[in-house]
Structure formats: C-alpha cells, structure tokens
C-alpha cells in the first residue's frame, strides 16, 4: 500500500441534480489522456459510493499531491448557471462523512483537504475544514 498523508475532496463541477456516475467520469478522464478515472471514490446524488481507481494506485486528481493522497469526488458542485455551489444532497453529505470516517480509521495520519487548498479553484465548493473533522488526531 502507498503511504497516505492526505484525503482530498473534489466535486465533478457538474450542474446540480445531474446524476453522473463513475463510468461517466472514467470516460471523461480517458478523453483527457488518463489511463482511467483519476479519483478513488465517487459519491453519487443518492449517496451511493462507487469505486474508482484502486487505493493502492496513485490517483490523478490534484497536481503535485497525487502520490500520497486519496481522491474522493462527489457528483455536483455547480448551480444551473454554472456557478460554484455546494450542491450536495443529504445522502451525499452523510455518505461522504461515513467514507471519511472509515478512511481516517484506516489512515489515522491522513489530513482532510479540499482540492482548493492546493489549487486556485473552487472545488469542492464547500469548506472541508469546518465540516469534516480535520486533523482530529493532532493536538
């Protein structure tokens, strides 16, 4: 297994209410020249967690931070006009919380980040720090 220091949250940057799946993202990422989907987990509108790239494989989601991180992506992130918005459904919120909890148990040293901590982007369109127990293991 790779050394995991970060869990990085993303959104698909697609319009609110549009239900894309891991298979769609896999197709998009292949057209961008990736071997396969760049994220490790995808959270659908109904809270279903789909698997993307195997955890043991380095992802392709955050420039400069892929080798020691896990990439999670929820479907949504834009309003109907294409502006950044926290569009997560109640099911997506709880699925994300559960998944992060589970991963923190397995990788206690991993810090939770949003993509925007590392790039000049809005992704994932909500404040990961205030919401997802960041660095609960540090004093």
Active-site residue set: 10, 39, 115, 121, 123
- Determine if 7 is a binding residue for Zn ion (CB under 5 A): no
CB 10 within 8 A of CB 73: yes
Q: How far apart are CA 100 and CA 88, in angstroms?
A: 15
Q: In terms of Cα–Cα distance, which of 94, 100, 98, 96 is closest to 135? A: 100
Binding-site size, Zn ion (CB under 5 A): 3
Helix (H/G/I), strand (E/B), else coil: 72 = strand
Question: Interacting stretch for Zn ion, rule CB under 5 A, among 4-12, 38-46, 52-60, 64-72?
Answer: 4-12
CB of 1 to Zn ion, least distance (A): 23
Comparison of 104 and 115: residue with beta carbon closer to Zn ion: 115
Which residue in the set 123, 125, 128, 132 belongs to the binding site for Zn ion (CB under 5 A)? 123
Q: How far apart are CA 74 and CA 132, in angstroms?
A: 14
User: In the range 62-121, which residues lie near Zn ion by CB under 5 A?
Assistant: 115
Tell me how crowded residue 136 is: count the other CB atoms within 10 A of its CB: 10
Please report, as ranges, the residues that interact with Zn ion according to CB under 5 A: 10, 115, 123
């Amino acid at each position: 297994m790779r050394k995991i220091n970060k869990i990085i949250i993303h959104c698909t940057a697609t319009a609110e209410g549009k239900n894309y799946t891991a298979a769609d993202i896999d197709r998009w990422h292949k057209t961008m020249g990736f071997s396969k989907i760049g994220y490790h987990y995808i959270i659908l509108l109904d809270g279903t967690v789909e698997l993307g790239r195997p955890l043991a494989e380095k992802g392709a989601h955050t420039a400069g931070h892929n080798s020691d991180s896990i990439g999670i992506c929820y479907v949504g992130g834009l309003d109907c006009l294409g502006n950044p918005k926290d569009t997560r459904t109640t099911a997506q919120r709880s699925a994300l919380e559960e998944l992060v909890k589970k991963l923190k148990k397995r990788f206690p040293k991993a810090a939770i980040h949003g993509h925007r901590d590392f790039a000049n982007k809005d992704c994932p369109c909500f404040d990961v720090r205030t919401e997802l127990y960041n660095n609960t293991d540090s004093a």
